[in-house]
Amino acid sequence: NAGVMQNPRHLVRRRGQEARLRCSPVKGHSHVYWYRQLPEEGLKFMVYLQKENIIDESGMPKERFSAEFPKEGPSILRIQQVVRGDSAAYFCASSPFSGATSGSYNEQFFGPGTRLTVL
Amino acid sequence: KQEVTQIPAALSVPEGENLVLNCSFTDSAIYNLQWFRQDPGKGLTSLLLIQSSQREQTSGRLNASLDKSSGRSTLYIAASQPGDSATYLCAVSINTNAGKSTFGDGTTLTVKP
* Interface membership of A50 toward B (CB under 8 Å): no
For the cut 60, the answer to whether the pLDDT of residue A98 exceeds it is: no
Question: How does DSSP classify residue A26?
Answer: P
Q: A106 — contact with chain B (CB < 8 Å)? A: yes
Q: Do B46 and A99 touch (CB under 8 A)?
A: no
Q: CB-CB: which of A44, A45, A105 is closest to B32?
A: A105
Is residue B80 packed enough to be buried (19+ CB in 10 Å), middle (13-18) or exposed (0-12)? Answer: buried
Q: List, for residues B99-110, the tens digit of each pLDDT value.
A: 688 999 999 999
Q: Is A29 on the interface with B (CB under 8 A)?
A: no
Please give the angle made by the CA atoms of B74, A108 and A73, to the nearest 5 degrees. 165
User: Does the CB of A7 have a partner CB in chain B at under 8 Å?
Assistant: no
Cβ–Cβ < 8 Å for A21, A116: yes
| Mean predicted confidence (pLDDT) in A24-52 | 91
Distance of CA B94 to the CA centre of its chain: 16
Among candidates B61, B47, B112, which has minimal Cα distance to A109? B47
- pLDDT digit string (tens) for A67-91? 999 988 999 999 999 999 999 999 9
Of B96, B100, B106, the CB nearest to A45: B100
Dihedral sign for Cα A36, A37, A39, A42, please: positive
Q: How much is the mean pLDDT over chain A?
A: 89
A to B CB pairs, distance under 8 Å:
77
Residue with the larger pLDDT of the pair B94 and A114? A114
**CB-CB under 8 Å, B93 with A42:** no
- Residue A111 above 90 pLDDT? yes
Residue type, B48: L
Confidence (pLDDT) at B97 = 54
Contact B73, B65 (CB under 8 A): yes
A41 with B51: Cβ contact below 8 A? no
